[in-house]
Amino acid sequence: MQLGTEQFDQVATARDMIMRGYINNAVKLETQLSMKTIRTLRSKLTAEGLAKNPRGRQIRQGQSIIKRSEDREDVTILMLAYRSYGGDNILMSVDINALNLAYDTYVLVKSEINRHPVDFVTINDAYGLAQELRSDDAMFEQCASCDLEFFISIRQECSTKCPFCAGHAHGPTQPDSVVV
Ligand SMILES: [Zn+2]
């Protein structure tokens, strides 16, 4: 098989994404490679012990990812890191490099806090949220009380209030009430 430079880059990106645990759908969207090529790459990498089969095949959306107040904190840490690596361009297109860096940062921060070691947002969830941000289905809001920014998806079914103020002494506490 002869590869042009462009396709070589796409294969390199696909290889990296598969090793990081991205599902085939996400790899296809980002590289435009055929599903056949992606599957072949994945089975090679799996045989070499460099990739695992990810749980699930679909890219989840905000309402499945953001359910509890801990999730709201998690996605905020992750997506603020994503914006700091990717800049304003992340509103126009998904930046896989920035997303990978943000995900590494999130895992590091989360491991240091060590509260819910099992409940990590996955790299595919991060990808789904990055897509929502690009499509204006998600955004950053600034909290009027604590001034911190936080991430909200228009699809999330839990509270869209600041996750850092919830349950703290900022007026009447309305933990996780749904704001319409
Ligand atoms: Zn706040």
pLDDT 10s per residue in the chain (180 long)?
Answer: 555 666 889 999 999 999 999 999 999 999 999 999 999 999 999 999 999 888 778 899 998 999 888 889 999 999 999 999 999 999 999 999 999 999 999 999 988 876 655 568 999 999 999 999 999 999 999 999 999 999 999 988 888 889 888 655 444 444 454 554
Please give the angle made by the CA atoms of 76, 130 and 19, to the nearest 5 degrees: 105
Cα of 125 from ligand 1 centre, angstroms = 24
Cα of 14 from ligand 1 centre, angstroms = 38
Cα of 115 from ligand 1 centre, angstroms = 20
Every domain of the chain and the residues it spans: 5-47, 62-153
The answer to whether 158 and 176 are in contact (CB under 8 A) is yes
Cα of 158 from ligand 1 centre, angstroms = 16
Cα of 63 from ligand 1 centre, angstroms = 21
pLDDT recorded at residue 69: 80
For the record, the structure tokens of 18 come out as: 């598969």
For the record, the structure tokens of 175 come out as: 């933990």
pTM above 0.75, yes or no: yes
Distance of CA 75 to the CA centre of its chain: 7
Cα of 142 from ligand 1 centre, angstroms = 8
Cα of 162 from ligand 1 centre, angstroms = 5
pLDDT recorded at residue 17: 97
* Phi–psi pair at 131, nearest 5 degrees: -65, -40
Cα of 55 from ligand 1 centre, angstroms = 34
Exposed, middle or buried: residue 96 (CB in 10 Å: 0-12, 13-18, 19+)?
buried
E strand or H helix that includes residue 140 = strand 138-142
